[in-house]
């Protein structure tokens, strides 16, 4: 016998044939639309989801807990799954989304697409995934080489490419300083 929750009310059906459940409207043609409240919940949830990882990398970088947590790729899989969901559902929720594949897409056209909350949420999750991934790379570079990374991880949280640039510069300076100290010790 399939599992059937007893504490849930049956999904709502509307005259246009859609079935509404959990903020997702499913139509007879198998298309889906996302309720604004669900979209807002996913957006806010994604923002909160990444904060513990950044907190560990910035405030507690040298603890066993941080090394264990940041050793996992599961957070990226979860965020990538959310991104996939938002990306796929955008084809039914966003008018003109096919314009993203247009090689002649203009900046005003792109800005018009990002005026849609669904596109903005999808793009934001994209940023969250990649900024966290780059932050994790910076963190592990620091763990392996001993270079200081807290400032670069903090910058990466707020402005990903600046955090990466900060780390690349810090790492270059670190190697120059450490390299000269090693040469002095051996020479």
Q: Does the residue 22 lie in any domain?
A: no
Indicate if the pLDDT at residue 30 is higher than 60. no
**143 in Cβ contact with 67 (< 8 Å):** yes
How far is residue 160's CA from residue 69's CA, in Å, rounded to a whole number?
20
Q: Does the residue 17 lie in any domain?
A: no
pLDDT of residue 88: 87
Q: Does the residue 145 lie in any domain?
A: yes
Indicate if the pLDDT at residue 143 is higher than 80. yes
Q: Does the residue 72 lie in any domain?
A: yes
* DSSP reduced 3-state for 50: helix
How far is residue 12's CA from residue 157's CA, in Å, rounded to a whole number?
40
Give residue 187's pLDDT band: very low, low, confident or very high (50, 70, 90): low
Residue from 23, 20, 18 nearest 35 by CA: 23
Give residue 1's pLDDT band: very low, low, confident or very high (50, 70, 90): very low
Indicate if the pLDDT at residue 90 is higher than 50. yes
DSSP label at residue 5: -
- Rounded to an integer, the average pLDDT of 98-127 is 90
Q: What is the mean pLDDT of the chain?
A: 85
Q: Does the residue 87 lie in any domain?
A: yes
Task: State the Cα angle at 168 between 164 and 174, rounded to 5°.
Answer: 140
How far is residue 33's CA from residue 118's CA, in Å, rounded to a whole number?
10
- Give pTM, 2 decimals: 0.79
**170 in Cβ contact with 160 (< 8 Å):** no
Q: Does the residue 1 lie in any domain?
A: no
pLDDT in tens, 52-75: 999 999 999 999 999 999 999 999
* DSSP reduced 3-state for 82: helix
Give residue 43's pLDDT band: very low, low, confident or very high (50, 70, 90): very high
Number of domains in the chain: 1
Q: Does the residue 104 lie in any domain?
A: yes
Check residues 95 and 143 and name the one with the higher pLDDT.
143
Q: Does the residue 4 lie in any domain?
A: no
Host domain of residue 98: 36-177
Indicate if the pLDDT at residue 16 is higher than 70. no
Q: What percent of the chain is predicted at pLDDT more than 70?
A: 80
Indicate if the pLDDT at residue 135 is higher than 50. yes
């Amino acid at each position: 016998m399939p599992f059937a929750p007893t504490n849930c009310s049956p999904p709502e059906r509307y005259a246009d044939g859609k079935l509404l459940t959990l903020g997702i409207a499913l139509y007879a043609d198998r298309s889906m639309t996302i309720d604004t409240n669900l979209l807002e919940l996913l957006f806010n949830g994604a923002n909160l989801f990444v904060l513990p990882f950044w907190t560990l990398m910035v405030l507690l970088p040298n603890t066993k807990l941080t090394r264990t947590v940041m050793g996992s790729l599961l957070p990226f899989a979860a965020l990538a799954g959310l991104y996939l969901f938002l990306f796929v559902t955008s084809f039914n929720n966003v008018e003109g989304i096919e314009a993203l594949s247009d090689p002649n897409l203009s900046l005003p056209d792109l800005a018009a697409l990002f005026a849609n909350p669904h596109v903005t949420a999808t793009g934001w999750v994209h940023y969250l995934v990649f900024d966290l991934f780059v932050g994790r790379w910076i963190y592990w570079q620091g763990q392996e080489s001993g270079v200081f990374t807290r400032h670069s991880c903090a910058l990466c949280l707020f402005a990903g490419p600046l955090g990466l640039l900060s780390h690349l510069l810090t790492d270059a300076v670190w190697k120059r300083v450490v390299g000269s100290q090693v040469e002095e010790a051996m020479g």
